[in-house]
Amino acid sequence: MTEPSSSSSSEQSVQQSDFEKIAQMVSSEFQVGNALVEHNVPTFYLKQPQETKQSFLNFLKALKPTGLTAILRRIDGNVVLRVVPKPPVKSSNILINWLLLFATVGTTFVTGYLMFGEFLNPIIGGATFSAAIMAILGSHEMSHKLTANRKGIDATPPYFIPGPPSYGPLLGMGTFGAVIMQKSLPPNRDALFDVGASGPIVGFIVAAVATVIGIPFSPYVWMPKDAATLPIPLLFTVIGSFLSPFGAIPPYPASALPGDYLLGISLHPVVFAGWVGMIVTMLNILPAAMLDGGHVSRAVFGEKTARLLTWLSIIYLVFTGFWPMAFFVLFISMSRHPGPLDEVSALSTGRKVLSVLLVVILVLCSFPPQLLF
């Protein structure tokens, strides 16, 4: 998950004495129809049609030494470029990131220790689950971070969020996921899309690999037919059609009647980590608010459609039983998505095609709603 800065650069201004210098820089990249100072902000109405995507990136690069940045918007049919001071970037306390990382390693280890001691050495169960889930979450968030760095977006290292371990009837996972904080806005829709899409794609791949690795080591078990089981994501069904546990099927319980027990699989900790990773991917890829899928939908469809998709995502979460996540998305949707600096230039065709892959990933990580109640 990525959380963008909510600072509104448009509320800041620059001195009018710099206007001529800025106007010359703008004219070197764009065809300007009208140039003026509005509320002490250098504002340029650009002629249409003209190419703006690469010109805007070039202009941002030229502005970098000046401490200024630019915002490109379409207003009442006009393409308007505003030049404003770049908001200061607060430094991060990396010690917090490390403390949260170690805390999450500890809580996920305890989860594995408590959950998988029946058929594994508890130490091995704790270590394998912790390693697998941290690999899934870490690869997801580091993909965001590396993509942000590549696109010139200031972002923090991942903040891992420890959670309660599994205990008794409580199915804790030892973590509530992880997040990075964006400290500056993406330059355009392409960059916004890339930052949002990179984490779910990489996290999905690592979760799928964990599932493939763990299924052969998951033992068969006989379960009472009314026993509670985990809902099965579609990807599990696909992988399970090609893979099966290495171990032999144990004898049917001698004292039980036929049909009292059903054959199932007791998940290896690595498989359980893959299952958790699929839930995390499914939730993050929903086209809602500041979730990864929300960034993607904002880049693909724009602000109005993205807000509609946010409400549809909240309804989906309610009807599929993810009440806490529904309230969380409702809360973060109260803040307006700031969008990219350049909201005029179109998203590239290749990224529009890639958005279809994200829908496929969402479907593969989902499971029948009736199993969630």
The pLDDT of residue 10 is 39
Q: How far apart are the first and last CA of the chain?
A: 25
Of the candidates 16, 17, 36, 360, which has an alpha carbon nearest to the alpha carbon of residue 204?
Answer: 360
The pLDDT of residue 329 is 93
Distance CA 286, CA 90 (A): 29
Q: Tell whether the model's pLDDT for residue 369 goes beyond 60.
A: no
Of the candidates 34, 342, 340, which has an alpha carbon nearest to the alpha carbon of residue 184?
Answer: 340
The pLDDT of residue 171 is 66
Q: Tell whether the model's pLDDT for residue 294 goes beyond 90.
A: yes
Of the candidates 300, 62, 97, which has an alpha carbon nearest to the alpha carbon of residue 188?
Answer: 300
Output the CA–CA distances (angstroms, integers) from residue 124 to 111, 112, 151, 356, in the order listed: 12, 8, 40, 39
The pLDDT of residue 88 is 86
In 133-234, DSSP assigns E strands to 159-162, 175-181, 220-224
pLDDT in tens, 303-324: 999 999 999 999 999 988 888 8
Q: Tell whether the model's pLDDT for residue 5 goes beyond 60.
A: no
Q: In the chain, what are the domain boundaries?
A: 2-85, 96-215+271-372
**Protein fold of 2-85:** Hypothetical Protein Ta0175; Chain: A, domain 2 (3.90.1070)
Q: Tell whether the model's pLDDT for residue 186 goes beyond 70.
A: yes
Place of tokens 């998203």: 347
pLDDT in tens, 109-139: 999 998 887 778 899 999 999 999 999 999 9
Answer with the residue of higher pLDDT: 186 or 230: 186
Distance CA 362, CA 234 (A): 10
For residue 101, the 8-state DSSP code is: H
pLDDT in tens, 327-345: 999 999 998 899 999 999 9
